[in-house]
Copies of this chain bind each other. A is one copy, B any other.
Amino acid sequence: MSQPDPRPHIVILGGGFGGMAAAHRLDDPALRVTLVDRRNHHLFQPLLYQVATAGLSAPSIAAPLRQILRKQQNVTVLMDEAQGIDLADKRVRLAQGPLDYDYLIVATGATHAYFGHDDWARYAPGLKTLDDAFAIRRRVLLAFEHAEREDDPARRQAWLNFVVVGGGATGVELAGTLAEIARHTLPREFRRSDPRAANILLVEAGPRVLPAFAPELSAKAQRQLEKLGVQVRTGTAVTAIGPDSVKFGDETLASRTVLWAAGVAASPLGQQLGVPLDRAGRVLVTPELAVPGHAEVFVVGDLASVTRPDGKPVPGIAPAAKQMGRYVADAILERIRGRAAPGPFRYRDDGTLATIGRMAAVAQFGKVKLSGVLAWWVWLVAHVYFLIGFRNRLVVLLDWAWSYWTYQRHARIVTGSEPADES
């Protein structure tokens, strides 16, 4: 506050996987780091679908940014929202005032997108934040309550038809878990309606589910989903979503619960940079992950559009964001220390995992492809391992063991309300 701090100032926008990896790597008292996030917590997004489906408590997959970084004295955390970036003046416009930087790392990620159908957002919520997860949990749990109160068979079935749009990892995980809830968790608890009458549909416009995996794993994932009771419709685009129905292919289905797991759009902050973006709004960065013409500004994670030497894009997953965050932090450290810049960013594929349900998952490590029970164990160990904090690892394992044996889901509480609920 008194004297200007002479240390180079690195501003990181976003406390997700990319931003946090960069912050951790910049642990050097000769640097000043400011991490800005509009939320107070880092979110372990790969398990967010479990909060949305009442399997985990929110605090088990979220940790306060301040707590994670409390020992790293060169980092200041600001809970604030970036509204603009002034590249010429090296300044970020936050909601609460301007913030100057020497180096900037933009790691604000992505949000769900409706491909020009923003009116669908009301009826088909997406899943990116804890509040999104609570909204989905509320809708799903209340749908079964409405079905219990409804005497008209057709209207009751509309409450029991669940449509998940998008066959990527999130869509597959949501659909698989919904099927388990309807078939195993709820049946004995309702007296008038039968939760087992629920239809869970997974609708994917492309030719197969989990397109990031090898085709044989997609086929296995689809079979595992069908075994759990999910109806899978591939090659089927959704063309309309309303308050009580959804249209896909030639079909119109009465459904009160549509969940959106189809589209991702980069954070609008990318547009502020005034540089070319790809179709999804991601910044076309240099091979060094910098903004073209601004070697001191980097973009990492889901907001960066990076191509691998074989022409494939770097996927929008946590390990990729972490690698980018670390790479950029190292590049800044080298430059500040006057050393040669590292070569271009290279994505190391550590494998891809997706879970489908109880003892069902797929995994791909280079040429090694796993499915079923073994893939599920790999998924479980990896996800517990990467969770932040001993308490969370232990409680999540405990919650999973408890759910596994009892088929119960401990976070089945309806909280909050919104007008859309009553629709």
Q: Which residues of A pack against B, CB within 8 Å?
A: 1, 39-41, 54, 57-60, 62, 64, 66-67, 69-71, 76-80, 96, 130-131, 134, 141-142, 145, 148-149, 151, 186, 188-192, 389-392, 394-395, 398-399, 402, 408, 410-416
Contact = CB atoms under 8 A, between A and B. Distances in A.
A402 B391 contact: yes
Contacts of A76: 191-192
Contact of A67 (B130, B191, B408, B415): B408
A191 to B, nearest CB: 5
Nearest to A186: B66
21 contacts: A1-B151, A54-B59, A57-B411, A58-B411, A58-B413, A59-B411, A59-B412, A64-B189, A64-B412, A66-B186, A70-B189, A78-B149, A79-B145, A130-B413, A130-B415, A131-B416, A391-B398, A391-B399, A391-B402, A391-B410, A392-B410
Contact of A40 (B59, B191, B413): B413
Given A58-B57, A188-B70, A398-B395, A41 B414 contact: yes
A408 to B, nearest CB: 7
A118 B121 CA distance: 36
Contacts of A413: 40-41, 58-59, 62, 64, 130
A151 B66 CA distance: 19
Contacts of A134: 415-416
Contacts of A398: 391, 394-395, 398
A330 B361 CA distance: 51
Which residue among A57, A59, A131 has the maximum number of chain B CB atoms within 10 Å of its CB? A59
Q: Which of A60, A134, A189 has the most CB of B within 10 A?
A: A189
Contacts of A67: 189, 408, 412
A152 to B, nearest CB: 12
A80 B149 contact: yes
Contacts of A414: 39-41
A76 B191 CA distance: 6
Nearest to A134: B415
Nearest to A401: B391
Nearest to A80: B149
A392 B399 CA distance: 10
A131 B192 CA distance: 29
Given A64-B412, A96-B149, 4 more contacts: A41-B413, A57-B60, A77-B189, A391-B402
A151 B2 CA distance: 12
Contact of A189 (B66, B151, B391, B410): B66
A64 B408 CA distance: 10
B70 A412 contact: no
A65 B399 CA distance: 19
A190 B78 CA distance: 10
Contacts of A402: 390-391
A190 B66 contact: yes
A415 B66 CA distance: 16
The 3 closest A-B pairs by CB, nearest first: A57-B57, A59-B411, A66-B189
A327 to B, nearest CB: 27
B58 A415 contact: yes
A395 B188 CA distance: 25
Contacts of A66: 186, 189-190
Which residue, of A58, A64, A130, A394, has the highest number of chain B Cβ atoms within 10 A?
A64
Contacts of A188: 70-71
A80 B149 CA distance: 9
Nearest to A389: B410
Nearest to A146: B79
